[in-house]
Structure 1
């Protein structure tokens, strides 16, 4: 409650929260809100020349190249993009926490090996690695989520490792060890709660990166496959009509930009609120 009140006092964070909740609500209620089936190719959805229909009272955001309602596809595309964003980022944060805590707490050869593996993964360009993995595997919603998770956990692991190294030297951890506390108790009762603010912040910020990466993979044709709509493949399917029907690219591009910006604003606000070193500044 304290965190929510603090965020409501920040205009940028409030704007981000409103947009995030609006996008989530639209994704959840898509079957109720969408005026048409997103895969329905309508005869009156194309002009006599076979071109997409522009925005009108019948088609709020116009139609795509196959005569499907763009507004309906964006609503259902929000479901796809957000599911991938939440699932992939959740897995990435969990893996990053696991690797970072273990390497920072155990140290020695185990910690060194885990961190060298993390450094090796960080050496690969994330987008290039995601493209290779997506091309090798059969693209689907869950495969894309797994691919994105595999390339996004390394940043979390590095941050958690650094914080864990500092925590294990703190007096309260040394006192627990002297009292005979086991590794499980130290890790999950004393160290993990101190890392949760970092995990929450990175989890929120990472959703924006994940949504953008999913859109990029789908735009390149190796992400979520049609006819299942996602914001990225909507742009991919319509790129050749960019000049003749600019709304086909503008509307999905705008909603991707707005969603990513909103998650970043919320994440920045959470970092300022939850990070003790930021309190009292500004």
Structure 2
């Protein structure tokens, strides 16, 4: 019985999935952008021409305004004479760390809540899903602002705050899927044979949800990156002088008309990374969704 159950689960063959992703132009574009940002973040000390905190006297005009892009400062300088290109590269680290860590925590919490409520039903279902509904009733951005204002903002606090407001969607999805899978014959048979709840959840139900969780995890990173940028732009995210793409815009917004590159360049980076994860997530959804098999 166990062997049959495992074989009927939704398998995720990583090499096959990657090969199919690479055959999709939009997904390939997204993967290239993500790879470029990851490599830039990983090798920031070697790629950045200057320290992200170093201020240059020659980085400002006589009037004290930022310099436009040049051969010395590729993306120009910010309002205190720091190299914008270097700060963008180091800022990629912040955005990726928060995106991956916060979204990873959110996916773990949401999946655990959804699977537990969907399988055990009864009062467990009622308590967990009513709490999920309560969290969904609050606008995510407003709740994040409140939580960020309560706690002292830092890299890890911002990641935790974002995770606390982003787990509800994946909880709802996994809850619905778990209720459906829990009614199937092989799960009913396992219960009748006296299998422990943990064995049923992790050996038979979770494999069927794995593709859904992977897709939501990928799409969720884009949402997380945008939310971090929003919080940093509002001044309650990652605090300067630590560079993040959101607080770069926040710091330089007063020069929007006279030095627009200070806003447009980090804004374009945020947009490109969020779009890249969305493109990959959409492709994964089509590839891993059994109803889409054979259509591409």
Deviations, residues 195-217 of structure 1 (Å, cap 9, x unaligned):
11111111100000000000000
Instruction: Please report the TM-score for the alignment, with normalisation by the length of structure 1.
Output: 0.99
Gaps of 5+ in 2: 1-14
Taking the aligned partners of 1:179 and 1:105, their CA distance within structure 2 comes to 17
- 1:112 equivalent among 126, 129, 138: 126
Q: Which residue of 2 is the match for residue 45 of structure 1?
A: 59
Q: Are 1:162 and 2:176 matched, yes or no?
A: yes
Q: Which residue of 2 is the match for residue 180 of structure 1?
A: 194
Taking the aligned partners of 2:224 and 2:199, their CA distance within structure 1 comes to 33
- 1:144 equivalent among 133, 136, 158: 158
Taking the aligned partners of 1:262 and 1:137, their CA distance within structure 2 comes to 31
Q: Are 1:95 and 2:109 matched, yes or no?
A: yes
- 1:204 equivalent among 218, 233, 248: 218
Calculate the aligned-residue CA RMSD, in Å.
Answer: 0.6
Displaced runs of 4 or more, over 2 A: none
Taking the aligned partners of 2:180 and 2:218, their CA distance within structure 1 comes to 24
Offset at 1:278?
1.5
Offset at 1:281?
2.9
Instruction: Please report the TM-score for the alignment, with normalisation by the length of structure 2.
Output: 0.94
Offset at 1:280?
2.4
Q: Are 1:10 and 2:24 matched, yes or no?
A: yes
Gaps of 5+ in 1: none
Taking the aligned partners of 1:273 and 1:107, their CA distance within structure 2 comes to 31
* SS of equivalent residue, structure 1 residue 91: helix
* SS of equivalent residue, structure 2 residue 64: coil
Taking the aligned partners of 1:128 and 1:70, their CA distance within structure 2 comes to 30
* SS of equivalent residue, structure 1 residue 109: helix
* SS of equivalent residue, structure 2 residue 54: coil
Within 5 A, what are the aligned runs for 1:1-282?
A: 1-281=15-295
Taking the aligned partners of 2:183 and 2:227, their CA distance within structure 1 comes to 37
Taking the aligned partners of 1:199 and 1:168, their CA distance within structure 2 comes to 17
Residues paired across the two proteins, number: 282
Deviations, residues 127-149 of structure 1 (Å, cap 9, x unaligned):
00000000011000000000000
